C-alpha cells in the first residue's frame, strides 16, 4: 500500500520535467493556446515535430513501429508531467486512434505507408465515425461503401469531425453490407481528403469557434487497398481501441493544474471588498471539486496499478471518463462564475483586458466548449450503460 | 507503487471476513443487540484469541505492531457485518490515545489488558453543548495534592455502558473553548463519584451519559502533560477518522451489492427491475461513489504510511483525512438513501438488514465531526492560508 516510484522512475520524471521546462516556453505556449492571430495547425505540428525529434511522440506504440519502449509507469509519468505543465495533448486522431488500428489490424504495406508519416506529423488525420443519424448509437451508421472492382464508392455524411478542415486523411466506419446484426457489415476505411467528391462544411460551436465540421461524400472512389483488415469486420477493430481512449480521459493532472489556476484567480477576484477565495459558499464549491479530484487521482492510480500488473483497462475506465469530465466541467463552471457578467463580453466587441478581467472571455469559451466533454468519446450516459452491464451485471 | 495488502494483512482480513460470514449473520447480530449488555462477551474473547485486539499496539506491550492499514483492514470487514462489539471505541480510539500517550507506566498496565480482552475502553469527550468541537470542554479538573478532582458531564459516550475504563477530557485552565488547558485522564468506571447511565443508540450500539461528581484522580493517571490534551488528540485523529471511514466503506460496499442483487430478483412489470435504465444509472452512480470513497481511503492510508516512515510531515495527511471524512459522509448518505429507495417498501422495514446498515452509516457520519464540519476544516487549510 504505497504510491512510491523507483529511483529510475523518479530520474525519468525529472528528465521529462526538464525537457518540458526547456522546450515548452512562453512563445510555444502562446501559439498552442490558439489565441487570436496564431496559426494553430502550424503550432501543433511544430510542437509534435519537436516531440518526434526527441523520440517521445508515440509512447503508446510498440517500439518496432516507433514507440518509446517505456514501461507503463513511464508512460503514466509522462502523461502526468504533460498535464501538470499545461501542455496540450498531441492531436489524437492519427497518433492515438488510427495508428493503433493500423499497426494492430493493417497489412505490412499499410503500416509502411501510413505509420512513418503519422510519427512525423506529415499527415493530419481526422475521425469519421459519427453521422447525423448515428451518435451514441454508432452502429446505426449508414454511410455506404459499395465494392466496385478496384474501388469502394463511398456516399454519405459524417459529422462532428474535429479539424477536418486541416486534415489530409480521414478514417471512416462505413457500411459495406447489410449484416444480420447491425454491427456486422461495417468496414474500416482510410480515405484521402483530397479525393474528388468530398466536401467539408464548417460547424461553428457555442463558443463561437470552428473546430467541428460536416464531411460529405458523393461518389468518392476509395482504392480497396485502403481497407483495414477484412471487409465487414471494422466494428471489431474500432471497438478494440475504445477502452484505451477512455483511460486517457480522467485528465487528473490537467484538472489539478486548472484547479490551482482557479484558486489563484479566486484570490484575485474581489466581491464586496473581499477576495472570492474567502467567500464561504465559493469555498464549499471549490472543495466539492478538489476533494473529488483528490479521490479521482487515486482511482486513476488504482486503475494504472492494475494495468501495470498486467491487467487490461477494463470497464472501470468508463468511471475515469465520467468522473474526469464531470470534474473538468465543474472547474470550468467556477472559472466562469469568477468571470461573472464580464464573461459575457465578446472579444470582438470588447477585449477582456479592457474589462479588467483578462481571463473572462477564455473562461466563457472553455465553459461552453467544455460541455462537449460529457458528449464525445461515448457520452457519459453511454459510459454508465457500459458500467451497468460490464461491472454490475445489470 | 501498489495497492495490495501484505500477506499478514490479507490473513487478518480473511479471518474477519470468515467470522462475519460464518458466525455473525443478521439474526445473530439482532440477538446480541437485544441482549441486556448489547454486546457478546464470548465474541470479544474470541477477538482477543484471534489477535484482532492486538493489531495496532506495539510489540513491547504484547501487540501485533500493526499500522493504520492493519486497522483499516479489520474495520472494513467489521463494517460489512455491522459488528456491534466495541472494536472502534476500545481498540482504535481508546487504544489509539493510549498508544500515543507519554505516560509509560499507564500504557504498560492498560494496553496488555486491552489485548487480552479484559479491558473495554471508551473516550469520554462529548458534552451536552460541545457538538463536534473537541476543545469545547466544561468538565473541570481541579488540581489537588497529588492529583485532580473531576466534575462535569460527558454525553453519548460510545460503549459507555460496558466500558470499564474511560479516557476523560477535562479542563484545568483556560476558558470553555481554549485549546490549551485540557488534560486527559484514565478513570475507572467504578471509581467513586462516577455515575454511568447507559442507553441504546439507533445503530444498535450502546452509549452512556457519564457524570463525574468530585471524582479523585491520581496524577499518575494523566495520559500526557497536563493541559496538552489537544496535541495528543490531534495526533491520533487521522487514525480514528481512517478507522471509521474504513468501517463506512465496508458498509457502503455491502449496501451496494445487496441492492444490485435485489434489483436482479425483484420483478415488476413482468421483468427484473434491474433492466430499467433509470435504476441502472442510479446503481452506477452509487458504485462510483463507493469507488471514490475507497480511493480517498487509500490516499489516507498511503499518506499515513509515508508520515509514519518519516518521509513527509503530517500536513497533507490532515487535509486528506478531512476530505476523507467529508467524502464518506456525503457518499455514505447517497448510498444509504439509494439502497432504501431501490429496495422500495421492503427497504423501509425493520426486519430487513438494509436500514440497520444505513443507521450505522448515519452514526459514523456524525462521529468526530460530520461532513460539513470536516469540509469547513478542509477549506480553512486549503483556502485561508
Q: DSSP states of B217-233 as a string?
A: EEGGGBSSSTTBHHHHH
Closest residue in A to B274 (Cα) is A394
Interface predicted TM-score (ipTM) of this complex, two decimals = 0.96
Taking CB atoms and an 8 Å limit, are B295 and A263 in contact across chains?
no
Q: What is the dihedral of CA A79, A82, A86, A88, to 10 degrees?
A: -80
| CATH class given for the domain over B123-227 | mainly beta
Taking CB atoms and an 8 Å limit, are B1 and A298 in contact across chains?
no
Conformational region of residue A219, where left means phi above 0, alpha means psi within -120 to 50, and beta covers everything else: left
What is the rounded CA–CA span in Å between residue A59 and residue A74?
A: 9
- Helical packing angle, B277-308 and A316-339, nearest 10°: 80
Q: How many CB atoms lie within 10 A of CB A54?
A: 12
Q: How many CB atoms lie within 10 A of CB A284?
A: 14
Domain ranges (residues) in chain A: 7-90, 125-233, 242-390
Nine-digit cell at A302? Answer: 488504482
Cβ-contact B69, B5 below 8 angstroms: yes
Chain A positions with Cβ closer than 8 Å to B: 1-5, 73, 263, 266, 277-278, 280, 283-284, 286-287, 290-292, 294-299, 301-302, 304-305, 308-309, 316, 319, 322-323, 381, 384-385, 387-388, 391-394
What is the rounded CA–CA span in Å between residue B281 and residue B279?
A: 5
Closest residue in A to B9 (Cα) is A1
First to last CA, chain B: 31
Of the candidates A226, A219, A48, the residue with the CA atom closest to the CA atom of residue A143? A219
Cβ-contact B61, B115 below 8 angstroms: yes
What is the rounded CA–CA span in Å between residue B158 and residue A327?
A: 38
CATH 1.20.140.10 fits A242-390, yes or no: yes
Assigned fold of B7-120: Butyryl-Coa Dehydrogenase, subunit A; domain 1 (1.10.540)
Query: B291 touching A, CB under 8 A?
Result: yes
Taking CB atoms and an 8 Å limit, are A393 and B302 in contact across chains?
no
Of the candidates B136, B206, B125, the residue with the CA atom closest to the CA atom of residue B167? B125
Q: What's the pLDDT band for A313 if we cut at 50, 70, 90?
A: low
| Residue whose C-alpha cell reads 500493526 in the numeric block | B66
Biggest CA pair distance of chain A:
75
Burial of residue A153 (number of CB atoms within 10 Å: 0-12, 13-18, 19+): middle
Which CATH number does the domain B230-383 belong to among 3.40.640.10, 1.20.140.10, 3.40.1160.10, 3.40.50.300? 1.20.140.10
Cβ-contact A56, A63 below 8 angstroms: no
What is the rounded CA–CA span in Å between residue B128 and residue B152?
A: 10
Q: Domain A125-233 carries which CATH code?
A: 2.40.110.10
Residues of A217-246 as b/e, b for ≥16 C-beta within 10 angstroms? beebebeeebbbbebbbbbebbeebebebb
Of the candidates A340, A257, A334, A264, the residue with the CA atom closest to the CA atom of residue B382? A264
Domain ranges (residues) in chain B: 7-120, 123-227, 230-383
Report chain B's C-alpha Rg in angstroms. 21
Q: How many CB atoms lie within 10 A of CB B57?
A: 23
Taking CB atoms and an 8 Å limit, are A297 and B3 in contact across chains?
no
Q: Same topology for domains B7-120 and B123-227, yes or no?
A: no
Of the candidates A214, A215, A211, the residue with the CA atom closest to the CA atom of residue A44? A211
For the whole model, what pTM was predicted?
Answer: 0.95
Nine-digit cell at A365? Answer: 469559451
Q: What is the pLDDT along chain B (385 residues), one digit of tens a residue?
A: 889 999 999 999 999 999 999 999 999 999 999 999 999 999 999 999 999 999 999 999 999 999 999 999 999 999 999 999 999 999 999 999 999 999 999 999 999 999 999 999 999 999 999 999 999 999 999 999 999 999 999 999 999 999 999 999 999 999 999 999 999 999 999 999 999 999 999 999 999 999 999 999 999 999 999 999 999 999 999 999 999 999 999 999 999 999 999 999 999 999 999 999 999 999 999 999 999 999 999 999 999 999 999 999 999 999 999 999 999 999 999 999 999 999 999 999 999 999 999 999 999 999 999 999 999 999 999 998 7
Taking CB atoms and an 8 Å limit, are A283 and B5 in contact across chains?
no
Taking CB atoms and an 8 Å limit, are A286 and B383 in contact across chains?
yes
Amino acid at each position: 500500500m504505497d504510491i512510491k516510484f523507483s529511483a529510475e522512475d523518479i530520474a525519468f520524471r525529472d528528465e521529462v520535467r526538464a525537457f518540458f521546462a526547456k522546450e515548452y516556453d512562453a512563445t510555444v505556449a502562446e501559439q498552442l493556446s490558439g489565441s487570436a492571430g496564431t496559426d494553430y495547425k502550424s503550432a501543433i505540428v511544430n510542437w509534435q515535430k519537436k516531440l518526434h525529434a526527441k523520440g517521445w511522440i508515440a509512447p503508446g506504440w510498440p517500439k518496432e513501429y516507433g514507440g518509446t519502449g517505456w514501461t507503463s509507469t513511464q508512460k503514466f509519468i509522462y502523461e502526468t508531467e504533460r498535464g501538470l505543465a499545461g501542455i496540450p495533448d498531441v492531436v489524437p486522431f492519427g497518433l492515438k486512434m488510427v495508428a493503433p488500428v493500423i499497426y494492430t489490424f493493417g497489412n505490412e504495406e499499410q503500416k509502411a505507408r501510413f505509420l512513418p508519416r503519422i510519427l512525423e506529423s506529415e499527415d493530419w488525420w481526422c475521425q469519421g465515425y459519427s453521422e447525423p443519424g448515428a451518435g451514441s448509437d454508432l452502429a446505426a451508421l449508414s454511410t455506404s461503401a459499395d465494392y466496385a472492382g478496384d474501388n469502394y464508392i463511398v456516399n454519405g455524411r459524417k459529422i462532428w469531425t474535429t479539424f477536418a478542415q486541416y486534415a489530409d486523411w480521414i478514417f471512416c466506419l462505413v457500411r459495406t453490407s447489410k449484416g444480420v446484426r447491425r454491427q456486422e457489415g461495417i468496414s474500416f476505411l482510410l480515405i484521402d481528403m483530397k479525393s474528388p467528391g468530398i466536401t467539408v462544411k464548417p460547424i461553428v460551436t457555442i463558443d463561437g469557434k470552428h473546430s467541428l465540421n460536416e464531411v460529405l461524400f458523393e461518389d468518392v472512389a476509395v482504392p480497396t487497398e485502403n481497407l483495414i483488415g477484412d471487409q465487414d469486420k471494422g466494428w471489431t477493430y474500432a471497438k478494440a481501441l475504445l477502452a484505451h481512449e477512455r483511460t486517457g480521459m480522467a485528465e487528473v493532472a490537467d484538472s489539478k493544474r486548472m484547479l490551482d489556476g482557479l484558486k489563484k484567480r479566486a484570490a484575485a477576484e474581489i466581491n464586496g471588498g473581499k477576495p472570492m477565495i474567502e467567500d464561504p459558499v465559493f469555498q464549499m464549491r471549490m472543495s466539492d471539486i478538489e476533494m473529488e479530484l483528490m479521490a479521482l487521482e487515486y482511482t486513476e492510480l488504482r486503475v494504472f496499478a492494475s494495468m501495470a500488473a498486467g491487467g487490461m483497462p477494463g470497464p472501470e475506465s468508463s468511471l475515469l471518463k465520467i468522473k474526469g469530465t464531470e470534474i473538468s466541467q465543474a472547474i470550468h463552471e467556477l472559472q466562469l462564475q469568477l468571470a461573472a457578467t464580464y464573461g459575457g463580453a465578446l472579444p470582438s466587441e470588447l477585449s477582456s483586458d479592457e474589462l479588467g478581467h483578462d481571463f473572462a472571455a477564455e473562461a466563457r469559451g472553455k465553459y461552453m466548449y467544455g460541455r462537449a466533454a460529457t458528449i464525445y468519446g461515448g457520452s457519459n450516459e453511454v459510459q454508465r450503460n457500459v458500467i451497468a452491464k460490464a461491472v454490475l451485471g445489470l | 507503487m501498489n495497492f495490495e495488502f501484505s500477506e499478514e494483512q490479507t490473513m487478518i482480513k480473511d479471518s474477519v471476513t470468515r467470522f462475519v460470514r460464518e458466525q455473525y449473520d443478521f439474526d445473530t447480530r439482532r440477538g446480541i443487540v437485544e441482549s441486556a449488555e448489547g454486546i457478546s462477551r464470548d465474541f470479544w474473547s474470541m477477538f482477543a484469541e484471534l489477535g484482532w485486539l492486538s493489531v495496532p499496539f506495539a510489540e513491547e506491550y504484547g501487540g501485533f505492531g500493526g499500522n493504520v492499514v492493519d486497522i483499516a483492514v479489520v474495520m472494513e470487514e467489521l463494517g460489512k457485518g455491522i459488528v456491534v462489539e466495541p472494536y472502534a471505541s476500545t481498540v482504535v480510539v481508546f487504544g489509539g490515545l493510549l498508544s500515543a500517550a507519554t505516560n509509560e507506566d499507564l500504557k504498560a498496565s492498560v494496553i496488555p489488558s486491552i489485548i487480552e480482552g479484559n479491558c473495554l475502553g471508551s473516550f469520554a469527550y462529548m458534552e451536552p453543548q460541545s457538538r463536534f468541537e473537541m476543545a469545547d470542554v466544561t468538565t473541570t479538573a481541579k488540581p489537588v495534592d497529588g492529583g485532580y478532582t473531576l466534575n462535569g458531564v460527558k454525553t453519548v459516550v460510545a460503549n459507555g455502558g460496558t466500558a470499564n475504563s474511560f479516557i476523560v477530557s477535562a479542563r484545568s485552565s483556560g476558558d470553555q473553548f481554549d485549546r490549551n488547558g485540557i488534560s486527559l485522564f484514565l478513570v475507572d468506571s467504578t471509581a467513586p463519584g462516577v455515575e454511568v447511565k447507559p442507553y441504546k443508540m439507533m445503530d444498535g450500539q450502546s452509549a452512556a451519559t457519564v457524570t463525574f461528581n468530585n471524582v479523585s484522580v491520581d496524577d499518575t493517571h494523566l495520559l500526557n502533560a497536563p493541559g496538552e490534551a489537544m496535541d495528543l488528540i490531534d495526533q491520533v485523529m487521522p487514525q480514528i477518522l481512517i478507522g471509521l471511514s474504513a468501517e463506512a466503506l465496508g458498509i457502503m460496499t455491502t449496501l451496494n451489492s445487496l441492492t444490485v442483487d435485489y434489483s436482479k430478483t425483484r420483478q415488476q412489470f413482468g421483468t427484473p427491475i434491474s433492466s430499467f435504465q433509470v435504476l441502472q444509472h442510479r446503481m452506477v452512480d452509487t458504485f462510483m461513489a463507493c469507488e471514490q470513497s475507497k480511493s480517498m481511503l487509500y490516499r489516507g492510508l498511503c499518506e499515513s504510511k509515508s508520515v509514519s516512515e518519516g518521509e513527509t510531515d503530517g500536513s497533507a495527511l490532515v487535509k486528506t483525512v478531512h476530505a476523507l471524512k467529508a467524502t464518506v459522509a456525503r457518499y455514505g448518505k447517497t448510498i444509504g438513501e439509494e439502497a432504501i429507495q431501490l429496495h422500495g417498501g421492503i427497504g423501509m422495514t425493520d426486519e430487513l438488514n438494509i436500514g440497520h446498515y444505513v443507521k450505522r452509516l448515519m452514526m459514523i457520519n456524525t462521529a468526530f465531526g460530520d461532513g460539513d464540519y470536516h469540509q469547513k476544516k478542509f477549506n480553512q487549510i486549503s483556502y485561508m492560508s
